[in-house]
Structure 1
Amino acid sequence: MAFNQYGFQQVEFDCHYRQFAAPFLIDGNADNNRYFIHEAQQNHIYSINNALLELVTDALTLLSAVTFTRKAEHLFRYGVMRRLRMIDSSFKSFQSIVPPNRTVPLSQVQSDRICRDLNAIYIDILGLLDNYAWAMVYQAGSPATQAAKPLAINLFKAPFIAETALKPTADILQAFKAWEEEVKTRRNPAAHRMPLYVPPAALTPADVVECEHYEGLISEALHAQEFEKLEPLRERRSRVGSLLPKFLHDPEGPVMDIYPILPEDIGQVVKIGRIAQTFLREHGRTAATQ
């Protein structure tokens, strides 16, 4: 099996950058370049949305067309399908609030919502990979591998790679091992330590002064019981500064670009899903003819 049979190009940001940004970039024209880079990022998002929909549709088709073992079907139906839908829902919710070209600061409600979505995506990404691994093991693995402890099996661990029926596909999946190690640096703190976070706004020194000015006016309005002034003042204060499309765990740790990192990570999941579902389709056909 070769990579090109899975149609990977559409989920790669570089493809969209070459088409929608690179030809239009002008040295020294930051506004122009920012516009076309945002165009490439937005088109990348559209492709990820379409690719997720195609993967979910193919997964639904598998459930009706493939002869699964009982345990493989259970993992696929209640693990793979649920996580695919949750990733799709969380990503759509996230992008509706933070498109690539947004500069307006986030409200507290918006901040809470996208942080929830972001953490859910990264927790579900690795959970989905494990669901795929176990579905493949239960469909075509040996009894010894099927009896392994839950944490002993994933797409990149030795028991999965060594399994005779899984090895050709496991060898293809090794191309994603470095990415899986990288994505763990985003997922593991979210699950076990500090959750992922998108700062609502970046403030310049002048912005800080303006915020303090509004805080003073709000305090005066409260003291004078001029409550009708509070909401307009709070609204003006909430729009001070600008949104930087970054996310992080620890304020003292690494800061990552939302775009293209988030959709790129989902794109890697789509690639792996296509490979895994192709394996299940092939082995389902074999099972149906036996």
Structure 2
Amino acid sequence: MSMVYPESQIHHFLEELAKLLDREDNLTIAFLTREFRKPETSELVRHGLVRRLLTLTHATQRTFEILTPWETAPTHDMLMDATSHLHTFVINIFGAIDNLARIWCMEADIRKPNGTPLKPMSIGLTPTHVLVRASLSQPFQDYLASADAWFAYLENYRHALAHRVPLYIPPRQLTAEESAEFERLEQEIAQAKNDYQRYGVLRGQQQRLGIFNPLIMHSYREQARPVYLHPQMICDLLTVIEIGEHMRRELDGLPPP
């Protein structure tokens, strides 16, 4: 069976992932060695942001090891293990960005126009967090605006995972004809429940239908857009690292503590 991704694309994935792991390491060191104005910021950096960055790189590496980009017939256990790491990854992508926004608001003392502190729900970097975005430099604001579609995807998938239908990796993709055959076999399987040999033959026929595509999905009823697992994880990790690098430069622009 042919691979889902072209061989050249797989090499590109692996090269990009290696580069991202180096950038994550540099970003982690930069935040760990920085002197912050407030002790609560230092705690959030060490026990929030840095832990999340380490978790993200671990989850990415393990997913690529368990469900390689050249895998065409994963087992149930492989899919479940990869899905567990995917859940960890998506939650901590969202959390890392939230940590970066809070680090900025704490260190730069971002407040409402009337001087009162921002409420927790008002702190973030999405398009709805207008006050926080407005407090950043124009280049950083422009970067965040260019990522608005990505923020929409992230919120959709994170909220589905946390509150509604959890993310999963479908084991097979079926055509319309294959779906009809799957349902026909399902009816025969139900009738053959006491004939174990017949049951095994039918289940084997059913499992051979379709092909595997490494897609991430949640609810079809919500018309969620499936995305490919490996390039999406690279894209998400890259975006968090880029936001972190921008934030480091923003913090560099503050007066020393």
TM-score (norm 2): 0.76
Whether 1:135 and 2:103 are equivalent positions in the alignment is yes
% of aligned pairs identical?
20
The match for 1:202 among 173, 185, 191 is 173
Deviations 1:226-258 (CA, angstroms, capped at 9, x unpaired) = xxxx9xx9xx78973431122211244334231
139-148 or 85-94, which deviates more: 139-148
> The residue matched to 2:256 in structure 1 has which SS?
helix
The match for 1:158 among 119, 130, 144 is 130
> The residue matched to 2:216 in structure 1 has which SS?
strand
Whether 1:261 and 2:229 are equivalent positions in the alignment is no
Please list every run of 5 or more consecutive structure 2 residues that lacks an aligned counterpart in the other structure: none
Residues 199/218 of structure 1: CA separation in 2 closer, same or farther (3 Å cut): farther
Q: CA RMSD in A?
A: 3.6
TM-score (norm 1): 0.68
Q: Which has the higher helix share?
A: 1
Alpha-carbon separation, structure 2, partners of 1:152 and 1:213: 55
208-217 or 67-76, which deviates more: 208-217
Aligned to 1:47: 16
- Taking the TM superposition and a 5 Å limit, the aligned residue runs for 1:64-103 are 64-103=33-72
1:122 offset after TM fit, Å? 1.5
* CA contact 1:248–1:255 (8 Å) conserved in 2: yes
Alpha-carbon separation, structure 2, partners of 1:210 and 1:46: 43
* CA contact 2:133–2:141 (8 Å) conserved in 1: yes
Aligned to 2:159: 188
Residues 114/148 of structure 1: CA separation in 2 closer, same or farther (3 Å cut): same
Aligned to 1:120: 88
Aligned to 1:287: 256
Alpha-carbon separation, structure 2, partners of 1:128 and 1:178: 18
Deviations 1:27-52 (CA, angstroms, capped at 9, x unpaired) = xxxx7xx6873422442243134313
Aligned to 2:79: 111
The amino acid of 1:94's aligned partner reads T
Residues 184/194 of structure 1: CA separation in 2 closer, same or farther (3 Å cut): same
Alpha-carbon separation, structure 1, partners of 2:242 and 2:61: 19
Residues 263/137 of structure 1: CA separation in 2 closer, same or farther (3 Å cut): same
Work out the number of aligned pairs and report it.
Answer: 242
1:217 offset after TM fit, Å? 11
The amino acid of 1:147's aligned partner reads P
> The residue matched to 2:151 in structure 1 has which SS?
helix
> The residue matched to 1:88 in structure 2 has which SS?
helix
Please list every run of 5 or more consecutive structure 1 residues that lacks an aligned counterpart in the other structure: 1-30, 224-229
Alpha-carbon separation, structure 1, partners of 2:50 and 2:91: 15
